[in-house]
Amino acid sequence: MEVVLMFLQCDIKSGILSYRRRFPTDLVRHIPSKSPDGRGRTELKVSLRVSDMNSPGAMDSYQAIEREYEDIVRAARKLATGTYDRLDEPMIAFLAEKYRVQELKDDEDRRWDPKAKARGEMVTTAAEGAGYSFSNANPSARWSQGVRLAIEAALDVYRSFRANGDLEGLVDAWSEHAFSLASDAGYIIAVDDPFLAKLCKALNDAAIAAHEAQLLRFEGGAFPTPPAPEPTKMARGSALKQIGIMDLYERYAAQPDRHPKTMAQWRPYIRRLAEFIGDDNVLAIEHDDIVAWRNHLRDEATYRGKRLSAKTINGSYLGAASALFAWAKGDGLIPRNPMLEVTKVKLPAKAVTRSKAFTTEEAHMILRASLEPSVSPEGVHLRNAKRWCTWLMAYSGARVNEITQLRKEDIFVKDGVNVMRITPDAGTVKSKALRVVPLHSHLIEQDFLEFVASRPEGPLFYDPAKRRSDHAINRQSNRLGSKLAAWVRSLGIDGVKPNHAWRHLFISQASRHQIDPRVTRAITGHSLSDAHSEYDHVNEHADVLSRELEKMPRFLELTTV
């Protein structure tokens, strides 16, 4: 699969690629720059020093710059909100090593950069003008003489701080650099942090070690630049303010565009993640933790004694976690999204032994059973649902909860046609859009309208006064749908989803009997697939929908109940 890399810019003359990305406008004033006040940097632009991303090391450089951008933005958000990170031993060690490595890398780059050498030679000339004398035995090394002088002078100062235990002078010399270095790494340190002096001391020691190595290089010694350090899990987790995984989820679920039922369904998945990780700090979760959880779901986890399917793992467990962490990263609540690059589960496909739709025989069995007097002590609402919901699904392909939540006011006449209105005002509609569905004449002949007229105002198939829970999953219409499914299974029908199979059957029958596909989509609520559909409002004309729907033959060929 081709990977699309964002924010790349190619220099017209040289062909060299650069990473160039603007910072969020509201954070610009919180991002360090070279402006007089030190703030106001608008973008990050870094040369990758290659003309082809297939070049060795190009992707590593790109990813390192991506992380740098994320760190800068994270630090800016903390400055904007007044949130500070607490220094501790692991973070101090990380920042000191980061500084030492960067000093050695800059020194190594300088030795092979003609422009840097020219600047070094200018320093040498300026030093000679100030009275310093250098040996000219090696003209090619003239650039290094002024640089060596500056390094030796800095070393004298840094060693003096250490030798004299001059903590006040050390903090005065290093604190601003400490704040800047931490900010570049994504941390914001308070000026009164009790460990600030310890960080300044560590940076002073790192500078001594780096400058001593630079002088060794001037003598021809081999001192390779070590790899850049990575923040340890302990440093990240302890330095940032802890956020509980479930606390984070509740903040996510409380956002105004969240669907209550979906949030209720996802909550147990996130709880399972928290239990597996064993650490209630979301900032401590790493990519490898998510991979381990995914593998646990794939290889060990069960539900009602059965192993989880790839669809359940990918769409439910990983889907919930992915949405949560993407939101948290976008809102600056976590520094990185641990779900990135976590691949989906792939399991051997199950053998398909039957259609997802009811067979004609199964449909007739269910519909005949709906007409039989009930011998169980079930309530009137379940009897009514068995009697009418199955027929309404058979002649509309509607989802079960779209039918069980119908209200008396949703049955009316439009364009001279008896219709039912499927609307989010009544409850859950997957598309979140209202649609009007004609009632097949067979339903009218079975006296469905008389049934509607006999019902009180409000829901047709349940009594809202008997509601026992406001939980989204336990809504009365949802529970009624589950009871209908259990009833269908009790008839001996297996291998299909006992409510959704009506939807598959309806769409298959619509195609078989040459119902206009636009009408089928309008009735079932499936979106149309081309730009022309934006101008075709066939769904608004109930008479047109009814005319096409009547092409569907009658189940059981009943004319009376």
Highest mean pLDDT (candidates 73-87, 372-386, 401-415, 454-468):
401-415
Is residue 416 pLDDT above 70, yes or no?
yes
- Residue 212's pLDDT is what? 92
C-beta separation of 19 from 8 below 8 A: yes
Amino acid at 240: L
Reported confidence tier of residue 449, pLDDT bands at 50, 70, 90: very high
C-beta separation of 367 from 315 below 8 A: no
Q: How far is CA 510 from CA 165, 429, 494, 498, 550, in A?
A: 87, 22, 24, 20, 10
Is residue 83 pLDDT above 70, yes or no?
no
Which residues is 303 bridged to in the sheet? 306
**Spatial separation of the C-alpha atoms in residues 253 and 112, rounded to whole Å:** 54
- Residue 468's pLDDT is what? 62
What average pLDDT does the segment 376-401 reach?
Answer: 89
Which residues is 281 bridged to in the sheet? 244
Angle CA 44–49–50, to nearest 5: 120
**Spatial separation of the C-alpha atoms in residues 138 and 156, rounded to whole Å:** 26
Indicate the length of the chain as a whole number.
Answer: 561
User: Mind listing the pLDDT tens digit for each residue in 459-472?
Assistant: 999 888 877 655 54
Residue 313 DSSP one-character state: I
For residue 31, the SS3 value is coil
Q: What is the pTM of this model?
A: 0.51
Amino acid at 410: D
Other C-beta atoms closer than 10 Å to the C-beta of 389 total 24
Residue 9 DSSP one-character state: E
Amino acid at 244: G
- Residue 266's pLDDT is what? 92
Reported confidence tier of residue 239, pLDDT bands at 50, 70, 90: very low
> Following CA atoms 263, 265, 268, 270 in sequence, which dihedral angle do they give, to the nearest 10 degrees?
-50
For residue 418, the SS3 value is strand
C-beta separation of 385 from 476 below 8 A: no
Q: Around 131, how many Cα atoms within 13 Å sit in the side-chain half-sphere? A: 0
User: Mind listing the pLDDT tens digit for each residue in 168-178?
Assistant: 888 999 988 89
**Spatial separation of the C-alpha atoms in residues 66 and 162, rounded to whole Å:** 37
Residue 16: phi and psi, rounded to 5, are: -75, 140
What average pLDDT does the segment 149-155 reach?
Answer: 87
- Residue 36's pLDDT is what? 54
Reference 403, options 485, 471, 465, 346; nearest CA is 485
**Spatial separation of the C-alpha atoms in residues 146 and 148, rounded to whole Å:** 5
**Where does 368-515 show beta strands of DSSP type E?**
411-414, 417-422, 435-438
- Residue 388's pLDDT is what? 95
Q: Around 503, how many Cα atoms within 13 Å sit in the side-chain half-sphere? A: 16
**Spatial separation of the C-alpha atoms in residues 239 and 75, rounded to whole Å:** 13
Q: Please compute Rg for the chain using Cα positions.
A: 35
C-beta separation of 155 from 176 below 8 A: no
Question: Across the chain, how many H-helices and E-strands are there?
Answer: 21, 8
**Spatial separation of the C-alpha atoms in residues 104 and 209, rounded to whole Å:** 10
Query: Distance from first CA to last CA of the chain, Å, rounded?
Result: 58
User: Mind listing the pLDDT tens digit for each residue in 527-550?
Assistant: 765 544 555 567 788 889 999 999
**Spatial separation of the C-alpha atoms in residues 76 and 82, rounded to whole Å:** 10
Residue 420: phi and psi, rounded to 5, are: -120, 140
- Residue 534's pLDDT is what? 57
Which tokens in the block code for residue 177? 């650099």
Which residues is 33 bridged to in the sheet? none
Quick one: what percent of the chain has pLDDT higher than 90?
36
Reported confidence tier of residue 101, pLDDT bands at 50, 70, 90: very high
